[in-house]
Structure 1
């Protein structure tokens, strides 16, 4: 869901690296959600691959951009994706592919272990602890990262609809989940267990340093320029 600043900083690199590593040899349609479709870079795509640019409403707060994407994804699955695709992966754009991210990652409902939490005891997990929030959790199985989620179009539609409903109910009650749509995703995954859980190698942060159990990295966090990119 890139604004112009995110488009300039990340999208070209994300798409170029995806062409090298993401579902190589399989048909892929990229859906780019942005409030500035005219700024999307023109990338030469491999055969069987195409791009659709979806114009979305501009939000002044990055938190609302993050949360409202759940409705945009659900709407496009209903109007377009379900007629053409079997599976959907949702990615934050501030990432770069560095290794194979292929059909082994496909599943009916796919969640990702958060690189910063998978080694920690559960009491460190940053679930939303506010009982008035629809994302409230006392405990869970894992802490999932909302930078990547996916599955069959039916399951991704169900997840995004449920998260959006929870977000809107919170807004009516003047509540905001601690980690916004990620908190709601974690709550949904507690109630509807994913069929596949991806290792943090599928979205790794090099600032963590060496980990003996991470032998390969497939997608890396790009540098986060939050001070400039998240300005209103």
Structure 2
């Protein structure tokens, strides 16, 4: 009986120790972040002073002087917040000096992917040159170029803290396959190279160039860009995938905006979830013998309808050069160049 009691006591002690370890790992992170100091008042109650040691996302490092902000004056010709309270970024809706000052001390790193397959390699030089002039200037940026013509990648001088890595990918006879493969390559890049090496990632079309600032105002969890071709239209006119058989299906009456497949991004983990989900859904469609109307753009729009972006960039961030500028477009930051698809695509 004593031996049995001894074993019981041992088991109880081990369980208690295990529970103590579990408690420590669950609650210690919060204890590290927030500490309480209590002082007894004259009424006998205790007051707690909360000391927060986490880095506030919008902490201003220095005593920066800038124009006083206002909540009653500003852009009135456009909407600057979505119904789910995500900011919509337009020229005049942010202070670039203030934002850069906030993010500078965070030592953030931005990755950018660009696909230059086949004859699309001809657009890469201008893309990189203009990116050096306008894309996150003054921050650490690593461009990842995917191409089947690595020997034709141009030499572009880059500023300190900015670099370029070239990865070889197979050629394709169908531009749709090139488009569809992007999500898989983005997912793999994050898994194999970017973990612990980048904070944000933006995925951009090579047949585009920068004209104005694209910087810290674009940072967010999941970041989408409004398509310039449909932002004034009723959603019934959006080119969503309308066949219920597809994983990219968006039913009539559903959807918020039509987003570009040529520019999206955000935090590494958010883009990873987007890419892996779109890749999986694309593969499921392939097994069913169906290809979404606009390949990865269709799957991206389905994903962002279900998983709302935390920041939306206005059409300033991917205009179309063949379109005249509408009055609300005060600046064009990034745009798709005019091109002859019959000349550059393996199939039209």
Q: Distance in 1 between matches of 2:335 and 2:237?
A: 23
Q: Distance in 1 between matches of 2:186 and 2:336?
A: 22
Identify unmatched segments of 5+ residues in structure 2. Answer: 1-114
Indicate yes or no: 2:268 matched with 1:153: yes
Q: Determine the structure 2 residue equivalent to 1:189.
A: 304
Indicate yes or no: 2:239 matched with 1:126: yes
Q: Distance in 2 between matches of 1:137 and 1:174?
A: 18
Q: Distance in 2 between matches of 1:223 and 1:157?
A: 31
Q: How far off its partner does 1:180 sit?
A: 0.7
Superposition TM-score, scaled by structure 2 size: 0.65
User: Residue 4 of structure 1 contacts residue 39 of structure 1 at CA under 8 Å; is this kept in 2?
Assistant: no
Indicate yes or no: 2:316 matched with 1:201: yes
Structure 2 SS opposite 1:169: helix
Identify unmatched segments of 5+ residues in structure 1. Answer: none
Q: Determine the structure 1 residue equivalent to 2:134.
A: 21
Structure 2 SS opposite 1:146: strand
Give the alignment of 1:74-223 within 5 angstroms: 74-138=187-251, 139-223=254-338
Could you tell me which of 157, 165, 170 is aligned with 1:44? 157
Q: How far off its partner does 1:194 sit?
A: 0.5
Q: Distance in 2 between matches of 1:38 and 1:105?
A: 33
Structure 1 SS opposite 2:289: coil
My pick for the range that moved more, 206-215 or 70-79, is 206-215
Q: Determine the structure 1 residue equivalent to 2:56.
A: none
Indicate yes or no: 2:179 matched with 1:66: yes
Superposition TM-score, scaled by structure 1 size: 0.97
User: Residue 67 of structure 1 contacts residue 180 of structure 1 at CA under 8 Å; is this kept in 2?
Assistant: yes
Question: Structure 1: which 4+ aligned runs deviate by more than 3 Å?
Answer: none
Deviations 1:115-169 (A, max 9, x none): 0100011111111000101100012011001110000110111101111111111
My pick for the range that moved more, 207-216 or 178-187, is 207-216
Q: Distance in 2 between matches of 1:51 and 1:11?
A: 12
Q: Distance in 1 between matches of 2:346 and 2:181?
A: 18
Deviations 1:74-95 (A, max 9, x none): 0011111122100000001000
Structure 2 SS opposite 1:166: helix
Q: Distance in 2 between matches of 1:37 and 1:166?
A: 30
Structure 2 SS opposite 1:182: helix
| RCO comparison, higher one (Cα < 8 Å, 6+) | 1
Q: Distance in 2 between matches of 1:210 and 1:162?
A: 35
Q: Distance in 1 between matches of 2:118 and 2:162?
A: 24
Indicate yes or no: 2:110 matched with 1:3: no
Q: What is the aligned residue count? A: 231
User: Residue 240 of structure 2 contacts residue 301 of structure 2 at CA under 8 Å; is this kept in 1?
Assistant: yes
User: Residue 21 of structure 1 contacts residue 97 of structure 1 at CA under 8 Å; is this kept in 2?
Assistant: yes
Larger Rg, first or second structure (1 or 2): 2
My pick for the range that moved more, 207-216 or 159-168, is 207-216
My pick for the range that moved more, 35-44 or 15-24, is 35-44
Cα RMSD of the aligned pairs, angstroms, is: 1.0
